[in-house]
Amino acid sequence: MLKALKKFIGQDASEPSSSAAAAATTPNPARAASDNDNRNADSASKKRKPRKRKPKTERSVEAPWSLDEFPVAAEEGKTRFHDFNLPLSLMRAIHSEGFQYCTPIQAQVLGYTLKGRDAIGRAQTGTGKTAAFLVSTITQLLQLPPPDERYMGEPRALIIAPTRELVMQIAKDAEALTRFCGLNVMAMVGGMDFERQRKQLEARYCDILVATPGRLLDFNQRGDVHLDMVEVLVLDEADRMLDMGFIPDVRKIVRQTPFKGERQTLFFSATFTDDVMNLAEQWTVNPQIVEIEPENVASDTVEQHVYMVSRQDKYTLLYNLVSQNNWERVMVFANRKVEVSRIEERLRKDGISVAQMSGDVPQQKRIRVLEGFREGKIRVLVATDVAGRGIHVDGVSHVINYTLPEVPDDYVHRIGRTGRAGTTGTSISFADEDSSFALEPIWEKLGRSLPCEMPPAELLADVPRQRS
C-alpha cells in the first residue's frame, strides 16, 4: 500500500530498482557526479496519472518438454546453447527456432552477459546479435522473480532501436523466444495507432518493451510508461541513432531508468567511432567489449559480383536478372527515395511482383509489404538504406545494388540482408559511369578488391513490352 500511495502522488523517484539486490556489479560510486547519464529525478510525468495494478492471470499449461528432445553434438570450435545454463523454457524456444550452435557474437557476448556484466558489441546485422541480447535478457528475467507489486506500463527490460522495421523485427524475435516463457513482449513505434498501443499497455504487464526513441518518449511523458523498474537496457544500432539525431531523446530515456550499475546495459553498434564509444562509456559500468569484424560478415557467406554497366542499361540488366532467374526473394537498393519509386513502378509495369520500402511508405503498409515479402507473395523489394537496414527476412537469396552506396558501411549492411546466420547468398552491384568511384572505398572497407565484369549479352536483351 505504501508503494502504491507513493506512486500515486509521484514521490517514487528515489525507490531503488528491484534489480539492485540482484545486480552482479557494484553501483558506480561516481554516479552522483554524472546525473546526465542516469535517471532524472523529475517525476512530473508520474503525477499526471496513477499507475494501474492488475492481478496476474493464469496461463495455459504447456505440455511437458525435456532437453533430451534437443540433442546437439559437441563440435570443436563451436559453442552450443547447451553449454550455457539457460532456462528450460528458453531452450525449448531455441529448439523450436531451429538454432543449434551459437554464432561468434552470441558465444562471446553470452559468456559475459549471463553473469550480469555490461557489454559493448560491435557487429553488423546478420551476425545473430539480436538473439544474443534477447537470450541474455530473457534469461535474467526468468531467473529473477518480478516484484511483488507490479504496475501496468512498467517494463522490466527495455530495448531501443532506431527504426520502426528494426523494432518490429526485434519484437517478433522476442515473441518467438518467449513463447514458452510466460513473458509479455510489446512494441512501440511511430506511424501506428497511438490509442491501440496505449490500450496494449493497460491490458497486461509488460516484461520486454521494444521501442523507437520518439514514440517511447511520447508514452513516457504522458505517464503511460514508467522506466524506473528497468532491469536490462539494450541499445541497438547506436551508430545509426547518432546518424539519425536520436541521441538527445535517448539521453532523456536513459535518465528515466535506474542508475547504471543498478541495471544491466547492453550496447551494440556496427562501428566504434569516438562518439559511439563516448556514449557507451557514459551508460555502462566496466563493460566487456566484443568485436566481430565486418570483413568476415561481408565475405564469408556472400558471393559478391560487380557488373560494369552504362547508366542507360541498368534497368535492362536489373529486369533480365530478375526475369531470367527463379529467385524467390530479391532486395534491390537505391540511394534516393525517388529512384526507389521509379524502379518499383517500372518493374511493376513489366510484370514483376514488386513493392517498395522507403520513408514515404506508411507504417501499416510497411508491415503488409514485409509480410508479403516473407510469404513469397512479393518477389522483389526495392528499398533505401534507412528503410532497409531494419529488414530481417529469412530466405533472401540475392541483393542487388542498383546504385552503389555513398558510405562503405552501407554496402556491408546491404549485403547483410542475404547470407544471414551462416546461410549463403549473392550480391550483385551495378557500377556505372556516375558511381564507379565508390568502389575503391568499399574495397578498402572489405580489405580486398572485387572482380569487375561485363554482363553477358543475354542480360542486356531488350525488355519486352507489356501488352496493355
Which ranges of the chain have pLDDT less than 50? 1-36, 39-48, 55-61, 295-297
Instruction: Tell me the H-state helices in 324-400.
Output: 337-349, 363-374, 385-388
**What contacts 24+ positions apart, CB below 8 Å, involve 186-191?**
186/155, 186/210, 187/211, 188/212, 188/215, 188/216, 188/219, 188/225, 189/164, 189/215, 189/363, 190/164, 190/214, 190/215, 190/363, 191/164, 191/362, 191/363, 191/364, 191/366
**Residues 216, 25: Cα–Cα separation, whole Å:** 28
**Burial zone of 316 (CB within 10 Å; 0-12 exposed, 13-18 middle, 19+ buried):** middle
What pLDDT sits at residue 370? 86
What single-letter DSSP state applies at residue 324? T
Q: Are 238 and 276 in contact (CB under 8 A)?
A: yes
What pLDDT sits at residue 190? 85
**Residues 43, 11: Cα–Cα separation, whole Å:** 7
Tell me the domains of the chain and their CATH numbers.
Answer: 2-290 (3.40.50.300), 295-460 (3.40.50.300)
What string of DSSP letters covers 254-291? HHHSPPBTTBEEEEEES---HHHHHHHHHH-SSPEEEE
3-state DSSP call for residue 331?
Answer: strand
**Residues 2, 4: Cα–Cα separation, whole Å:** 5
What pLDDT sits at residue 62? 58
What pLDDT sits at residue 64? 84
What is the residue type of 156? R
How far CA 63 is from CA of 189, 257, 367, in Å, comes to 34, 37, 33
Half-sphere exposure of 285 (CA within 13 A, CB side): 22
Residues contacting residue 148 through CB under 8 Å, at least 6 positions apart = none
Q: Are 36 and 251 in contact (CB under 8 A)?
A: yes
**Residues 152, 164: Cα–Cα separation, whole Å:** 23
Per residue in 121-131, pLDDT tens?
A: 998 777 889 99
Beta bridge partners of 307: 430, 453
Q: Are 38 and 260 in contact (CB under 8 A)?
A: yes
What pLDDT sits at residue 293? 67
Q: Are 363 and 189 in contact (CB under 8 A)?
A: yes
In this structure, the strands spanning 288-291 and 119-122 are parallel
What pLDDT sits at residue 17? 41
Beta bridge partners of 304: 427
What pLDDT sits at residue 31? 45
What pLDDT sits at residue 298? 54
**Residues 377, 381: Cα–Cα separation, whole Å:** 11
CA 260 to chain centre: 22
**Residues 350, 322: Cα–Cα separation, whole Å:** 11
φ and ψ of 55, to 5 deg: -70, 155
Question: Does the predicted model carry a pTM greater than 0.75?
Answer: no
Per residue in 187-196, pLDDT tens?
A: 999 878 888 8
CB contact burial 90-112 (16+ within 10 A = b; e otherwise): bbbbbbeeebebbbbbbbbbbbb
